[in-house]
Amino acid sequence: QQQVKQSPQSLIVQKGGIPIINCAYENTAFDYFPWYQQFPGKGPALLIAIRPDVSEKKEGRFTISFNKSAKQFSLHIMDSQPGDSATYFCAASRTGGFKTIFGAGTRLFVKA
């Protein structure tokens, strides 16, 4: 019920490609779905987030797609760059809750 399942574990794309990272959740009480980006040796930082009342959110080259009925959401990185190489975590939490549940992470490498 509390899990967030993330795939793939790792991903290699060419510069300009569109990596897609997928997540699935079980608890329908979740109503906030952030993505965090982590560079080597650093702590995670919020990249983009979505609430389930919308099906898509774009911020620059990053897009979250959300499918409430399937309880799935995904991150798309348009025109990926070597500087996007990082580990990406999806997560879920609920309004009024104190905890955020994180996926296992996807290590992305963008080849120059």
Partner 1 sequence: NAGVTQTPKFRILKIGQSMTLQCTQDMNHNYMYWYRQDPGMGLKLIYYSVGAGITDKGEVPNGYNVSRSTTEDFPLRLELAAPSQTSVYFCASSSHQRAAYNEQFFGPGTRLTVL
Tell me which residues touch partner 1 (CB under 8 A): 6, 9, 32, 34, 41-46, 49, 89, 93, 95-100, 102-105
Residue 61, SS3 per DSSP? coil
Residue 62 dihedral angles phi and psi, to the nearest 5°: -105, 130
Taking the complex as a whole, the smallest distance from the CB of residue 15 to partner 1 amounts, in Å, to 26
Nearer to partner 1, 30 or 63 (CB): 30
Nearer to partner 1, 15 or 51 (CB): 51
Taking the complex as a whole, the smallest distance from the CB of residue 16 to partner 1 amounts, in Å, to 28
Taking the complex as a whole, the smallest distance from the CB of residue 73 to partner 1 amounts, in Å, to 16
Contacting residues for 74 by C-beta, under 8 A, at least 6 apart: 20, 21, 22, 23, 64, 65
Nearer to partner 1, 17 or 102 (CB): 102
Written as six digits, the tokens of 106 are 């996807």
Q: What is the Cα–Cα distance from 80 to 101, expressed in whole angstroms?
A: 27
Q: What is the Cα–Cα distance from 97 to 86, expressed in whole angstroms?
A: 28
Nearer to partner 1, 6 or 80 (CB): 6
Q: For tokens 């702590």, what's the residue? A: 43
Taking the complex as a whole, the smallest distance from the CB of residue 31 to partner 1 amounts, in Å, to 9
